[in-house]
Structure 1
Amino acid sequence: MNASAIIQNIPCTLVTGFLGSGKTTVINQLLATKPAEQRWALLINEFGRIGVDGALLKNTLDAKGQSGGIAIREVSGGCICCTSQLPLQIAITRLLSDHHPQRLIIEPTGLAHPRELIRQLSAPHWQTALSMQAVITVLSGLQWQQEKYRTHHGFQAHVRDADVLVINRYEQLSSACRQDLQAWIATLNEPAKIIWATADSETAPEPQTTPHCQAVTNNLDVIKPSNPYLTELAAQLIKPSRTISQQRIANIEKSRVSLTPPTHLPSNMPTNANADTSIEADGQNELPYRYHEEQQGMLLAGWRLPPHWTFAADELQQWLLQLPNWQRIKGIVNTSDGWLQLNFTPDSLTITTTSAQIDSRLEIILLADSDIKSSATTRVGNNSSETKSEQQSLIEWERCDRELMALVVPSNSQP
């Protein structure tokens, strides 16, 4: 099956929260809003090896007659954000390929490191597969009331990386205590949107008269479908994530390298007036630049280049195909043969003409493995005695930059 037909900007929501915060209840509420005709998927990560939450959710869904449209997959026995991205990558890929969901919800363990998980989901290889929506974090007012939680690094970490904070069990706190809670949140994450979980009322209920931060008893486990809280909660499923967008920009800024334009090009050449301006510039307006990084045994690199740079078509293709141990090459480039779309795999080389774009783009994936070094020695001058820790020298990125810049056709030679 064609992977491109499976992974196509699937809306994905991350629901985080410290241990015992009430994530499962909030996820059940989100699942209750699923249109009957849609297919949703839920990825649950439990730190233990038995996987209780998945069974509980499945039982709840079966009781409501909803399980037919919701696929559940569990990853047990450790945090998916720790040590390696592989368990997370495998679980998401299988959910998408096996069930073809129209929406994905991820519930990490309460012991997860939200920042690391957000960093992983911000990686380039997920940007076309997943459309990350607002990160929803569940915060228990009763937990926050206890100092051992307020001062706990893990408890605070969930708050810091939230787009939206759903505060439940707060109804047992006084008005003064709720104000303290809001002020505390602002010190950690001022832009975060706060949603107060309510049952039947239009707004958060007024607390009973009690001493400062003293609890009273009330139960808000039952949420009616017409409840405004549920409407506001469901709306977060279609709001892009500010947190993940910032992380993606940070990833690019950390790995991007400014390039020196070829000396034979004037610096004030205009951009192509016929370019398709519907393509976003990803917030990166300083062209040209290149990024590179290593993930899961692969070296990734990409270039964004001004649209008025015209590359020698044949020489560019030859240069790309000589890169060491390449696994995938994709690009949309202004060439001497016009704008070309490149899609290369070891089994297929596809080149098609396309319309003018707002910039030229190239992305490559190379196999980074010590076993294949010998085949790359003539290209990058590696020493066979290098250790695996020196794998980053498999390719000399600055040399690649220079070689690519040399393929730009001088302006007086361009048609």
Structure 2
Amino acid sequence: MAVITNIITGFLGVGKTTAILHLLKYKPANEKWAVLVNEFGEIGIDGAMLSEQGAMIKEIPGGCLCCTAGVPMSVGITALLRQKPDRLLIEPTGLGHPQQVIATLTSAQYRDYIDLRATIALVDPRHLLDSQYTSHQPYVDQLLSADCLVASKGDCYRPDLLEALSGWQMQYHPHANIAQIAQGALPLNLLDTPRIQMSRIRSHQPAHDLNAHHHEHAAQEPQFALAPDQAFVRKAHQAQGYVSCGWIFGAEAVFDLAKLRQWFRTLPVERAKGVVNTCEGSMVFNMSDGMLSVSAMSLEGFESRIEVIHSQPCDWDAIECALISAKMD
């Protein structure tokens, strides 16, 4: 039997992982769900957060799923399908092109194994008033590929800003459904929104050669294990006009919570997140649009992982030095 599958897309920091966590929390108790997580950075953080909800997780850090003939994606999907889940959720990187992922999932390779349902794009309506986003092709591609446009973070902006999304939808993608959520509370029933045949909206799409899109991936299983004598490892990545840098610290490393909060708050970057062992337990850090949230998680004894993303090159050495100073002796 084909596995019911959804793509949950959206730009950097829009709340995809929070929404998937909500879906996993309220999924039918008798169902087994799987999640394929793709992150822009090389380190891979979202999987640690999602694993708390008991789902089967497969991570593909280091680029978007659609590149290099989709080999990393095919490997990850096949591994999850072999575990016979009742539903598969796919979270592409915030800088990816979902239409190429859709093409793979509907190809002959997966026709008998994948029952693709709605592609859901989370969007912060405030971004539609900012040319930095509306002129960025991956951002536009994500919205045009969606069957349902979901205004996320509804508790963070004026209600009238929803009109920005409605206006964009009417002009460029009139067949898409629109919904609004707050704090990631994505309703389960949206997953069964009917799919739109992309030919119906092709006339609304700007000219863009997706075949020209290319950047490097990490290896198919890009886990950067620490050597016995290493305190941490750093990995950098660059693509689609953005740069990222991530760190993995051994499970023995413990950070001062107050100092780490301050480090996140003063980062000169657009996006940062981490799962970190601190003096007050395991914590999830999420910084987007200048706002930092910190929450506890139940996992213990894991490798701390931190990733930062920015549209301009950064002084990674200085940022790393400040990060290490937040570590307890």
1:155 deviates by 1.3
Match of 1:90 among 68, 72, 75: 75
- 1:10-54 CA-to-partner distances (Å, cap 9, x unmatched) read 000111111111111111121122112211100001122211111
1:239 deviates by 3.5
Counterparts in 2 of 1:346-357, with a 5 A limit? none
1:172 deviates by 4.1
The corresponding residue for 1:113 is 97
Residues of 2 paired with 1:186 and 1:74: CA distance? 35
Counterparts in 2 of 1:233-382, with a 5 A limit? 233-243=187-197
- Given that 1:141 and 1:169 are in contact with CA atoms closer than 8 Å, whether structure 2 keeps it comes out as no
The corresponding residue for 2:123 is 139
Q: 1:155 to 1:123 in 2, by over 3 A?
A: same
The corresponding residue for 1:75 is 60
Match of 1:47 among 14, 32, 40: 40
1:131 deviates by 0.3
Tell which deviates more after alignment, 76-85 or 99-108.
76-85
- Given that 1:161 and 1:243 are in contact with CA atoms closer than 8 Å, whether structure 2 keeps it comes out as no
Residues of 2 paired with 1:109 and 1:166: CA distance? 17
Residues of 1 paired with 2:30 and 2:43: CA distance? 32
1:154 deviates by 1.6
What letter matches 1:77 in structure 2?
Answer: G
- Given that 2:125 and 2:164 are in contact with CA atoms closer than 8 Å, whether structure 1 keeps it comes out as no
Residues of 1 paired with 2:49 and 2:118: CA distance? 25
Residues of 2 paired with 1:241 and 1:35: CA distance? 22
Q: Secondary structure, in 3 states, of the residue corresponding to 1:49?
A: coil
1:79 deviates by 1.3
Match of 1:14 among 4, 7, 10: 7
TM score, norm. by length of structure 2:
0.57
Residues of 1 paired with 2:139 and 2:199: CA distance? 23
Residues of 1 paired with 2:160 and 2:191: CA distance? 31
Q: Secondary structure, in 3 states, of the residue corresponding to 1:134?
A: strand
Residues of 2 paired with 1:112 and 1:190: CA distance? 22
Counterparts in 2 of 1:173-212, with a 5 A limit? 173-198=157-182
Greater RCO (Cα-Cα under 8 Å, separation 6 or more):
2
What letter matches 1:162 in structure 2?
Answer: A
Percent identity (aligned): 35
Larger radius of gyration: 1
Gaps of 5+ in 2: 202-329
1:243 deviates by 4.0
- Given that 1:118 and 1:244 are in contact with CA atoms closer than 8 Å, whether structure 2 keeps it comes out as no
**Does structure 1 residue 166 correspond to structure 2 residue 150?**
yes
Q: 1:18 to 1:53 in 2, by over 3 A?
A: same
Gaps of 5+ in 1: 1-7, 199-219, 224-229, 248-415
- Given that 1:10 and 1:130 are in contact with CA atoms closer than 8 Å, whether structure 2 keeps it comes out as yes
Residues of 1 paired with 2:200 and 2:44: CA distance? 33
Residues of 2 paired with 1:127 and 1:240: CA distance? 17
Tell which deviates more after alignment, 46-55 or 179-188.
179-188
Residues of 2 paired with 1:182 and 1:122: CA distance? 29
Aligned residues: 201
Higher helix share: 1
What letter matches 2:27 in structure 1?
Answer: K
